Amino acid sequence: MTDSVDQSEGLDLPRKQVGPNPQHLLITLMGDFWHGRAVAVPSSALVEVLGEFDISPASARSALSRLARRGILSLHRDGRSTAYSVREEFLRAGEGRAMRNLRLGGNERPSGWSGRCVLVMTGAVDESRRERGPLRAYLKSGGFARLQEGVWASVAADEDEVRRSLSDLAVPGVVAFSATLLHQGDVSADRWGIKWPIGDVADAYREFIDDFSPYLEQVRKGLLSSREALIVRTRMMDSWRSIVRQDPDLPDELLPADWPRPRARVIFATLYDDLGPLAEARCRQIIADYDPVVAAQTRHMTTRAVTEG
């Protein structure tokens, strides 16, 4: 999502699977069109929106129920009518990840890495499964790699965001501090890739390019309908989020020369922004049949607004 709705720290999110996953599509849709807002969307409308992706009504309703049981969505009842909104806790927890989805690769970085990094020491937390799960989920999705037992590092994490997230998690025994690399010897990008799986991430970016670059020409020529725009944009964001969660955003000095993210980023930003109005129009059209007020609150986001804001 894009979204403040995102795979985020400590929440029991659905596992990734082959083909359209209705839970993932719901998370992406609610983050894209009701970003940062706990808007109660009629369940029947959400079921119809998922129908655009060939998700059956039974599977759509099951996905809504499961997300509610996992604590991601809140159920609202009014007589026989039901609606779902994103829980406030999830909105807060996912905000940093949502902004990372839209910003990653979009801003020019200053040349030359200063060697700065953020270290998180988990200490005895790793011994507790209950506390370890949410903390590790946050660290992995935030671009941290485990250097050794109980020591995690990120070369791109925002210190304020780390401070807020760890405070929200409130896991005892965790210490975080800023550090500077003073010596790395002959550690090349390949060696850094042992800790950060940049080879796997590169492959994922290349697959993304193969999957979505064909749509650039169709968009340029205005060949996609509003329904097709909604489908392509949502599926693309779902795929992009999955890659971003794996990307540690290493500085250029630690990346291979053929790093494919710049090309993937251009494709993502172009399609996400250009398809936004059409996708929003289709979503509004469906929602309006159930709740015109909610339809009027449906708004798409753009990478341009986030990176330039």
Distance CA 152, CA 120 (A): 5
> Does residue 266 lie within any of the structural domains?
yes
CATH number of the domain that 129 lies in?
3.30.70
Tell me if 32 is assigned to some domain: no
Domain assignment present for 128:
yes
Task: Examine the fold and report which residue of 126, 151, 180 is the final residue of a domain before the chain moves on.
Answer: 180
In whole angstroms, what separates CA 256 from the centre of its chain?
A: 24
Is residue 151, in this structure, part of any structural domain at all?
A: yes
Determine the pLDDT at residue 309. Answer: 60
Per-residue burial over 262-300, b = 16 or more CB atoms within 10 Å of its CB, e = otherwise: eebbebbbbbbbbbbebbbebbbebbeebbeebbeebeb
Residue among 133, 90, 105 at smallest CA distance from 3: 90
User: Considering the domain boundaries, does residue 42 fall inside one?
Assistant: no
Q: Does residue 39 belong to any structural domain of this protein?
A: no
Res 219: pLDDT: 96
Query: Within a domain: residue 202?
Result: yes
Q: Please check whether residues 209 and 273 belong to one and the same domain.
A: yes
Residue 100, both tokens:
């990372």
For residues 247 and 221, state if they share a domain.
yes
- 191 token code pair: 């060696």
Q: The tokens 């209950």 sit on which residue?
A: 130
CA-based nearest residue to 46, from 68, 19, 70: 68
pLDDT recorded at residue 194: 56
pLDDT at 139: 87
Percent of the chain at pLDDT > 70 equals 83
Distance CA 155, CA 181 (A): 10
How many CB atoms are closer than 10 A to CB 23? 21
C-beta atoms surrounding 226 within 10 Å: 17
pLDDT computed for residue 293 by the predictor: 97
Contacts of 191 (CB under 8 A, 6+ apart): none
Q: Are residues 172 and 209 in the same domain?
A: no
Contacts (Cβ under 8 Å, ≥6 apart) of 274: 219
Instruction: Report the pLDDT value the prediction gives residue 110, as an integer from 0 to 100.
Output: 59
> Would you tell me how many other CB atoms lie within 10 Å of the CB of residue 223?
10
- Give pLDDT, residue 16: 44
Q: What is the full DSSP assignment across 190-243?
A: HHHHHHS-HHHHHHHHHHHHHHHTHHHHHHHTT---HHHHHHHHHHHHHHHHHH
**In which element (H, E) is residue 301 found?**
none
3-state secondary structure of 24: helix
Residue ranges in the chain whose pLDDT is less than 70: 1-19, 93-96, 108-112, 124-132, 184-195, 309
* pLDDT value, residue 106: 78
Q: How far apart are CA 189 and CA 187, in angstroms?
A: 7
pLDDT tens, residue by residue, 165-218: 888 888 888 999 998 887 766 655 555 555 677 889 999 999 999 999 999 999
Domain match, 242 and 203 both: yes
pLDDT at 17 (0 to 100): 42
Domain total for the chain?
Answer: 2
Q: Which residues contact 113 (CB under 8 A, 6 or more apart)?
A: 155, 251, 252, 253, 254
* Domain match, 265 and 201 both: yes
Residue 71 inside a domain? The answer is: no
Which tokens hold the place of 187? 């550690």
Q: Do 202 and 280 fall within a single domain?
A: yes
* Host domain of residue 133: 116-180
